[in-house]
Amino acid sequence: MTRSSILSALAVLSLSFVSAGCATVDPARAEQDIRQRVSAQTQAWNAHDAKAWTQDFADDADFVNIVGTVFQGREEIETRHAAIFASIFKTSHAEVTVRRLVFPTPDIAVVDTVHEVTGHTGLPPGVQNTQEGLLRTQMRYVMKRTDTGWRIVAGQNTDVKPPPAPRP
- The pLDDT assigned to 1 comes to 53
Least confident of 18-27, 103-112, 113-122: 18-27
**Mean pLDDT for the chain overall:** 89
pLDDT digits (tens, 9 = 90+) for 134-148: 999 999 999 999 999
CB 97 within 8 A of CB 113: yes
pLDDT, residue 40, reads 98
Distances (CA, A) of 120 to 89, 142, 154: 5, 27, 25
Total-model pTM:
0.83
Per residue in 50-103, pLDDT tens? 999 999 999 999 999 999 999 999 999 999 999 999 999 999 999 999 999 999
CB atoms within 10 A of CB 94: 20
